[in-house]
Each structure stands twice: as C-alpha cells, then as structure tokens.
Structure 1
C-alpha cells in the first residue's frame, strides 16, 4: 500500500528532473547507488544520470539482479556500502 500511495502521488516529485536538478544539494555528501542490471522499475539510465551529477555518489551495477533488496547481489553491495559508512 505504501508503494501504491507513492506512485499515485507522482513519487512526490514536482517533475521528472527534480532529483537531478537538486543533486547539487548533496554534491559533497558521500553515498552509494546500487543498481540491478535487470531492474525494470528503475532503469539503469536513471542511476547513471544521478551518478553523473553526484560526484560523491559511487555507482555499483549488480549484473545478476533486478529491483529487489532481497536479491543476493543487491544485498551484497548494500552490506559493503553500509560497512564502508560505518567506518567513516
């Protein structure tokens, strides 16, 4: 139900470019973008476009994954990312 509410409300974005246009606000904040190769909900192009405007955002593609955080490759990358930030 939460996901449906999110999409019914246009993902709470004023337009399709809002995230990219405002990425300058987080330009100095480190982060990690984990993208599944077979994700049909969030195309890889979206992750790539965000990566280009977010210099501190590391992009990791997972070759054998889609969108789910329960896929082993996604879990692996998320654990690595959270461990990295734990040690900052």
Structure 2
C-alpha cells in the first residue's frame, strides 16, 4: 500500500479518474465507501458515482477505511456475488 501512495496512486493528477470516467462508463462496478473513512473521503466516492453510470455506490454507515470492518466485508461479498452471477 505504501508503494501505491508513494507513487501518487499511479495517477497523473488528482482528477484523472473523474476526467476519464467516460472510458469506463459501460463497465459495471461497485464502489464501497465507509462513512467515516478519512483516507478516501466520501465526497470522492460520490463524485465518481455521479460520472460513472454503471457504478453502483454503497455507503457503509458504521465503517471507516478498513476492508476488515463487518459492513465493508458484507458489501464486498455482495459485490463479488453479483458479478459471479453475471
């Protein structure tokens, strides 16, 4: 994870994903966002959701950033089950 952050998430600028969202507009996906995530603010998930028509957004009320939190785990399992059944 540190390698990812040291390299600026391999993005040219902070808006790269939003600026290029048209490239993924037809690809289904799921955004799972913890309400109390201070690493990746909820605003970032919301902004991506607004420009990604096939992106399904789930806010997890009692969660932060960790994928090990029960609500996050629940949503991630639901997302993988959904794509398994495609």
Question: How big is the shift at 1:7?
Answer: 1.3
Question: How big is the shift at 1:72?
Answer: 0.3
For residues 6 and 64 of structure 2, what CA distance do their matches in structure 1 show? 23
Question: How big is the shift at 1:6?
Answer: 1.4
1:51 aligns with 2:49: yes
Question: In the alignment, which residue of structure 2 is the partner of 1:11?
Answer: 9
Question: In the alignment, which residue of structure 2 is the partner of 1:24?
Answer: 22
> TM-score by structure 1 length?
0.95
Cα RMSD for the two superposed structures: 0.6
Question: How big is the shift at 1:5?
Answer: 1.6
After superposition, what is the alpha-carbon deviation per residue over 1:36-56, rounded to whole angstroms, capped at 9, x for unaligned? Answer: 000000000000000000000
Question: How big is the shift at 1:19?
Answer: 0.5
Which portions of structure 1, spanning 4 or more consecutive aligned residues, are displaced by more than 4 angstroms? none
1:79 aligns with 2:77: yes
Structure 2: give runs of 5+ residues left out of the alignment.
none
For residues 81 and 10 of structure 2, what CA distance do their matches in structure 1 show? 30
